[in-house]
Amino acid sequence: MEQIIKRIARGEESALVELINIMQKRVFSYCYSLVGSYEDAEEITSDVFYQVWKSASKFKNLSTPTTWIFGIARNLCLNHLRKKKLHFQELFENDAIFDPIEEQELNATAEEIRQAISKLSPIQREILYLVFYEEMDYKSIAKFLDIPENTVKTRVFNAKKRLKEILSHERANQASF
**DSSP string across 72-106:** HHHHHHHHHHHHTTPPPPPPPP--PPP-PPPHHHH
* Count of structural domains, the chain: 2
- Of 53 and 168, the one with more pLDDT: 53
Same domain, 69 and 131: no
Range of the domain at 35: 2-83
* 51-87: pLDDT as tens digits: 999 999 988 877 889 989 999 999 898 888 777 643 3
CB 100 within 8 A of CB 79: no
H runs (alpha helix) in the chain? 2-9, 13-35, 38-55, 65-83, 103-106, 110-118, 122-128, 138-145, 149-175
Domain containing 166 — which CATH number? 1.10.10.10
Same domain, 7 and 76: yes
pLDDT tens, position by position, 32-57: 888 888 888 999 999 999 999 999 99
Per-residue model confidence (pLDDT) at position 84? 65
- Please check whether residues 77 and 107 belong to one and the same domain: no
Q: Is residue 89 part of a domain?
A: no
Give yes or no: residues 77 and 110 share one domain. no
- Please state, in angstroms and rounded to a whole number, the distance separating the CA atoms of residues 19 and 10: 14
Q: Note whether 78 and 107 are same-domain residues.
A: no
> Which range, of 50-64, 83-97, 120-134, averages the lowest pLDDT?
83-97
55-62 long-range Cβ contacts below 8 angstroms, 24+ apart: 56/5, 56/6, 56/8, 56/9, 57/9, 59/5, 59/9, 61/2
